[in-house]
Each structure stands twice: as C-alpha cells, then as structure tokens.
C-alpha cells in the first residue's frame, strides 16, 4: 500500500507581464511548485503589461493570480510613474548611471507584498525575475539586494522567527537575455503573450526604442530565435 502523495510546495511568483517574469514562473512550475502569481499595479504608464501578466499566469498554470494596487505615482521620481520622458534607447544614460526608468523602492515593495502573501499561504518560497547581466543597472536587481531581502524576510516575519526558512529565488539573476530566451523556449513560454515595453500602447504593442525593448530584441537576436514582439 502506497502512502498519499504530498501536496506540492507553494510559491509566490512575482509576474509583471514581461518576458523575465514569465520565464521565472515557468521555472518555478518546472521545479514542482504550486505557483501563486502576484502582480502589482503601481501606477505604471500602461495597463497592458498587467493584462499580459494575467495571460501569462493562466497559460503557465498558476494556481491563482492576484493583482495588488499600490499608488507609486503619488511618490513619483521615475519616468514610469511621473511626467518624465522615457529614454529612447539603452545607451541614453551613462554606463554607471541609474536611468530615470528606475522606480524608487519598486522591487522592495513588490517583494514585501509577496512576502506577506507567502506567509499567509504558509509558503517559504518567493520567486522574482530580476536580472543583473543584461539589464538597465537598477540597484534592486543585483544579487546583493536579493540576499539582503532574504535576510530581512527571515527576521521580519512570524514564520521566520518561529524557525521557517524563507527563500527568495532569482533564477535569472546571472543569465544573459539570450539565455533567458533559450530557457523560455525550452519550457514552452509563449513570448508573444508578454509585454516588456515601458511605453506600450493600449494593445500591448511595443515602441521598439526604450531600454526594455532594446534589451528584449538583443535577447532574441542573441538566442537566434524569431522575435514575436508586437511592435507599434
């Protein structure tokens, strides 16, 4: 007589609607997690990426998907949450300069919401799609940030204090965009359903010129995979 199969471990996966978070969700699912997808409406320039997040969560088998609203437009300080022009190409800022598309504390806020939901679910695992190789230089996409947040999670929660080890998984953090594309193809990610552009139109069509678009296009080119992005 065989015993009952144990239920899969739960994970909260941040899903923005872009290619990186889609691949992250696919990786978490492939690792056997029951994925609870979380998106954050933070006052970004367009809602098409949130529509893409819902598509991604559904097609990649998330157990559930929820969107939490946080009004970061009331803080401003970013081209994505204030009336500041989005740079037209990836080299519009200096090599060591943090671009104006950086949103103050965005990943800290998103991971904090994910942490709260994970604790409510009894989950020990958070997944996010940050990348520190082909990226725009945001400080909250670096390994040091992920390591620091994981330490915070384990001292700031009831679960952590009571001995549950909380982990923040960032499986793409050391991958190139081309590697991310290849991994997504391997895992069956439909990249045409994703939206990465900072200023996509209402139909999710990309501008083709902002940092996010340029890095995305370079990734497909580097992987030798046809770019399925819908451009305006």
The CATH code that applies to domain 10-223 is 3.40.50.620
Q: In what order do the strands lie in the sheet with 10-14?
A: 64-69, 34-41, 10-14, 125-127, 167-169
- Using an 8 Å Cβ cutoff, are 56 and 21 in contact? yes
Query: Over the stretch 20-74, which tens digit does the pLDDT of each residue have?
Result: 999 999 999 999 999 999 999 999 988 899 999 999 999 999 999 999 999 999 9
What is the predicted pLDDT for the residue at 89?
63
- The mean predicted confidence, pLDDT, of the chain is 93
Greatest extent of the chain over all pairs of C-alpha atoms, in Å: 66
Is the pLDDT score of 230 beyond 70? Answer: yes
Return the minimum-mean-pLDDT range out of 66-75, 110-119, 132-141, 180-189.
132-141
Short-list 213, 229, 223, 227, CA closest to 90: 213
Alpha-helical runs (H) found in 44-196: 48-59, 106-121, 143-155, 158-161, 177-186
Query: Over the stretch 168-196, which tens digit does the pLDDT of each residue have?
Result: 999 999 999 999 999 999 999 999 999 99
Rounded to two decimals, what is the model's pTM?
Answer: 0.93
Phi/psi of residue 66, nearest 5 degrees: -135, 155
Q: What are the extents of the domains in the chain? A: 10-223
Q: What SS3 state is found at 231?
A: strand
Short-list 3, 13, 54, CA closest to 33: 13
- Using an 8 Å Cβ cutoff, are 196 and 211 in contact? no
């Amino acid at each position: 007589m065989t015993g009952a199969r144990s239920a899969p471990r739960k994970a909260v996966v941040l899903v923005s609607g872009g290619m990186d978070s889609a691949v992250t969700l696919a990786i978490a699912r492939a690792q056997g997690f029951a994925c609870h997808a979380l998106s954050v409406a933070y006052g970004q320039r367009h809602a098409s990426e949130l529509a893409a997040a819902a598509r991604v969560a559904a097609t990649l088998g998330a157990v559930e998907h929820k969107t939490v609203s946080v009004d970061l437009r009331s803080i401003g300080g970013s081209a994505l949450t204030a009336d500041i022009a989005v740079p037209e190409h990836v080299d519009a800022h200096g090599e060591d300069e943090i671009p104006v598309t950086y949103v103050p504390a965005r990943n800290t806020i998103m991971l904090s919401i994910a942490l709260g939901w994970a604790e409510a679910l009894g989950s020990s695992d958070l997944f996010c799609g940050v990348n520190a190789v082909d990226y725009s230089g945001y400080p909250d996409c670096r390994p040091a940030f992920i390591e620091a947040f994981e330490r915070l999670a384990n001292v700031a929660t009831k679960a952590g204090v009571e001995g549950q080890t909380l982990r923040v998984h960032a499986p793409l953090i050391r991958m190139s965009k081309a590697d991310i594309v290849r991994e997504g193809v391997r895992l069956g990610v439909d990249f045409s359903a994703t939206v990465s552009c900072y200023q996509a139109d209402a139909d999710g069509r990309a501008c083709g010129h902002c940092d996010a678009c340029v890095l995305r296009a370079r990734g497909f080119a580097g992987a030798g995979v046809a770019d399925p992005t819908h451009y305006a």
